[in-house]
Structure 1
Amino acid sequence: MKIFFLEKNRRCVTSYLSFLLVLCVSLLSVVALYSCGSSDSAPSDNTTIVITPKSGMDLYGFIGDTEGKPIEGVIVTDGFTCTQTDNKGIYQMKKNNKTTFVYYTAPADYKASAATFYQKISTSKERYDFKLNKLSGSETNFNLICIGDPQVTSNSEVTRFKDETMSDIKKFVDASSKPVYGLCMGDMVGDKPDLQTQMKTIVSSTSMPVFTTIGNHDKVAGTVTSEPRNSNVFCSTFGPLNYSFNRGDVHFVCLDDVAYSNSTTYDGGFSDDQVEWLKQDLSYVSKSKMIILYYHIPLRNTTSIVNRNNILELLKGFSEVHLMCGHTHYSENCAVTTPISTYEHIHAAACGAWWHSVINGDGTPNGYAVYEVSGNKITNWYYKSVNFDKSFQIRLHKGNSSFGGTYGYFTYGQKENSIIANIWNADENWTVNVYEDGINKGYMTKATSITTDAWSEGYHIGVVGRDPDNYNQPAKHLYIYQMSNPSAKIKIEAIDRFGNKYVQDQIVNDLTTAGAY
């Protein structure tokens, strides 16, 4: 009997040790499996997910949520080809030999992160997994902030961007009752690639996810002047150049439209590969969505930009389309008429006239644009000047005023009884009423014969002594009115396309507020 119990106990111990051995081997297999993917984005439920790619498919992976459950229908791309995850959360494709990243389009019901939606491709592996975080609720209503060219060239300018622009944006984000997303319109730096990392840290310093496009000053010249500039430093900092993401009923698309022909000469344009990529990307998007396409160099209604029409043709049929860009260091809402009818929002620069003042070359204050999104429409937009309330949308001057200093003076060249209003976010759908001593006297009209802002030129060229060829940007939002009573108290009431009213009754006669806040 004693021998029987000893033998029984020995068999139990042996079985238990065998069970532990099998368990350890299984755990090691799971660890080994996930080591083939990204360690910070692998599923977390310890489920062994085996992927057997089809013949010729050398780029594949698994996309799941934080519990390891597969997510179906996620668009994945290498920047040339787009595909979707299947019902097991698996994607696979033939990798393009020019690709450097694999990345996904954030679905509307999952968090969008500018830092984790991509992985750099390594020659040593083919599998890349991603883990997505589910949103707690719908984001069909949100605020969008668009930042034009920071274009920093020194640590002092980085500090100004942080303390002025981003400090103002942080206040907006903290006060918002809705989610806030940010787009940067390129030229994060002014030919100073070593500042890119600092700028990424700064734009990421609020709770607002910020997605960035590349500008001409973000590209770096090589050692051979005949070769086009490259985007290597920018990509190592910010990731892919052409990508998309979804928020609510909006599909965002970023494209690089800066085409260098050598180390110094560039123009706006898109490659055939970009046209094909966008065609594939949009094929997965419902026509009921709004498309926001953003890039650096304005497209306007010009025909000189390579593949402009081919890109815009792909946007036909969607519920609403808006184009977002920067580059010019002046503000303009441009009505694009062909091959689609839409608005191109050309954003003034965060750096203004290259950090020599607190204004752009057209008199627009340093700042950023705010768009309120509801469903598949933009229901309101306005320009937010740094260190000013959002109601500050107008600056008034006498039409015969002269502004300047040591290096010259500038004037609007108008009669003594005329008033000039600089309304930096205006377009053809604004109405500008004039009151003299409280009595409505009619409307201001566009000052089509005045092409530049004398107040801005007076400071940048006349006082600071900057190059006139670079500091006389077009001012496309000047309005004029001839007063019937030159001694009357003037008040301007501008009403935008959404019915918002902006009032100004102070006439600016000097340059005090041009140089500093």
Structure 2
Amino acid sequence: MKRSEFLKNISLATLLLADGSIIPAFGSESFARKTRLRFVVASDGHYGQAKTEFEQYFATAVSQINRQHEQEKLDLCIFNGDVIHDNPDFLLDSKKALDNLKMPYYVTQGNHDRVSPEVWEQTWKMPFDYDVIVKDNAFLFGTTSNIKGEYLCPNVSWFRNKLEEHKDKKNVFIFIHITPVKWTDNGIDCIEFRDLLKQYKNVRGVFNGHDHDQEGVKMKDGIPYLFDSHIGGSWGTAYRGFRIVELKKNNDVLTYLMNPMEKINEATI
């Protein structure tokens, strides 16, 4: 399907503008602007959850993400927590499933990823908290849980150091599993973390998993918090989808959900 035809299937889209405002994307010239960075955010696969078709959920998501990559290159994919469902025995199989992705991918730990920091890093070759630079944009990944599955706020000290390190980057994108604002049933109130983020104007968005029934964009202190539904698990939105993010040449961000075949909930930030 041509991109122009593909865009017609979108029910909602969001633009996160370079000036910090957020508007519906329809009718915006940002649709036509060239993209300089494109990535996927997916979460909540819950590989190994009983009475769910978790293997098929992963296969479908990976296949559709790869399809997006074939149609228009994806620079990276982020799997934002709850890769597995409690049992560490499923960790290697979940990795084998994600290894079928045809672009670089990164993971964060969720509350159902109940393994030690050592096992996590040995499996993924990534620690609980880490950063990567892609096309001069900083991506910060942080854990919000532990081996017990507790709900935790991000490591404020680590994020403070990294935000200061990357303060001259044009954009910073943050990925944490648990929502740090108590506006969802499963979110927690991380005031110190939020107060830190609002000191850095280059923070373009905080991406959350965890809340399977959330699929939109919420604003707090001028920062967008973006949800991506779920690709697995036993509850949540009626569809299992993922979010695509496109950073435009003018530094606007166009973002929308795939469900997983069609675009929905498109936005620009």
Bin for the TM-score computed over the shorter chain: 0.7 to 0.9
Match among 238, 255, 258 for residue 381 of structure 1 = 255
Give the RMSD, CA atoms, in angstroms: 2.8
Q: Is it true that 1:349 corresponds to 2:245 in the alignment?
A: no
3-state SS in 1 of match to 2:69: helix
> Percent of counterpart pairs with the same letter?
20
* Aligned-pair CA distance for 1:312: 4.4
In the alignment, is residue 180 of structure 1 matched against residue 75 of structure 2? yes
Name the SS of the counterpart of 2:165 in structure 1.
coil
Q: 1:301 to 1:218 in 2, by over 3 A?
A: closer
Instruction: Name the CA shift for 1:240/1:323 in 2 (closer, same or farther; >3 Å).
Output: same
Q: In the alignment, which residue of structure 1 is the partner of 2:140?
A: 253
Q: Deviations over 1:279-316 (max 9, x none)?
A: 222222244521111111111256x9475424542452
| Matched residue type, 1:165 | A
**Cα distance change on mapping 1:233 and 1:288 into 2, 3 Å:** closer
- Which residue of 235, 239, 245 maps to 1:371? 245
Establish whether residue 196 from structure 1 lines up as the match of residue 96 from structure 2.
no
CA contact (8 A) 1:348 1:366 kept: yes
Question: CA–CA distance in 1 between the matches of 2:181 and 2:197?
Answer: 16
Aligned-residue offset at 1:319: 3.1
Q: Is the 8 A contact 2:143 2:177 kept in 1?
A: yes
1:245 is matched by which residue type in structure 2? V
Matched, 1:291 2:164: no
1:234 Cα offset (Å): 2.3
CA separation of 1:240/1:378 partners in 2, compared to 1, >3 Å: closer, same or farther? farther
Q: 1:318 aligns with which of 168, 180, 201?
A: 201
- Higher mean alpha-carbon deviation, 287-296 vs 304-313, is at 304-313
Deviations 1:188-223 (A, max 9, x none): 010121111122222121321111000111114xxx
Q: Match for 1:336 among 208, 219, 238?
A: 219
Map 1:95-114 to 2 at 5 A: none
Is the CA contact (8 Å cut-off) linking 1:185 and 1:296 kept in structure 2? Answer: yes
Matched, 1:361 2:236: yes
| C-alpha distance in structure 2 between counterparts of 1:324 and 1:331, whole Å | 12
Match of 2:13 in 1: none
Sort the Cα spacing of 1:343 and 1:205 in 2 relative to 1 into closer, same or farther, 3 A. Answer: same
TM value normalised by structure 2:
0.74
**Partners of 1:378 and 1:206 in 2: CA distance:** 27
Corresponding position of 2:55: 159
Cα–Cα, structure 1 residues 378 and 349, in superposed 2: closer, same or farther, change >3 Å?
farther
1:473-497 Cα deviation digits (max 9, x unpaired) = xxxxxxxxxxxxxxxxxxxxxxx65
1:218 aligns with 2:104: no
Q: Contact conserved, 1:257 with 1:295, CA < 8 A, in 2? A: yes
How far apart, in 1, do the equivalents of 2:48 and 2:118 lie?
18
2:181 corresponds to which of 292, 300, 304: 300
- The equivalent of 1:113 in structure 2 is none
| Residue in 1 that maps onto 2:29 | none
Match of 2:131? 244
Contact 1:287-1:318 within 8 A present in 2 as well: no
State the distance in 2 between where 1:376 and 1:279 align: 27
Q: Is the 8 A contact 2:117 2:127 kept in 1?
A: no
Q: Is the 8 A contact 2:178 2:209 kept in 1?
A: yes
Provide the residue aligned with 2:210 in structure 1: 327
Structure 2 unaligned spans of 5+: 1-34
- Tell me the alpha carbon deviations over residues 124-170 of structure 1, each in whole angstroms, 9 at most, x when there is no partner: xxxxxxxxxxxxxxxx8121101110001169845313431111111
**TM-score if structure 1 supplies the norm length?**
0.41
Secondary structure of residue in 2 paired with 1:246 = strand
Q: How far apart are 1:383 and its partner, in Å?
A: 0.7
Label 1:316 to 1:198 Cα distance change in 2 as closer, same or farther (>3 A): same
Q: Is contact 1:300-1:336 (8 Å) kept?
A: no
How far apart, CA to CA, are the structure 2 residues paired with 1:252 and 1:145?
13
Task: Check if 1:267 corresponds to 2:142.
Answer: no
Give the conservation status (yes or no) of the 8 Å contact 2:167–2:202. Answer: no
Aligned to 1:309: 192
| Cα 1:197/1:317, change in 2 over 3 Å | same
CA distance in 2, matches of 1:310, 1:181: 26
Instruction: Summarize the Cα distance change of 1:240–1:312 in structure 2 as closer, same or farther, 3 Å threshold.
Output: farther
Higher Cα radius of gyration: 1
**Separation in 2, partners of 1:300, 1:333:** 14
Q: CA contact under 8 A between 2:160 and 2:196: conserved in structure 1?
A: no
Count of residue pairs brought into register by the alignment = 229
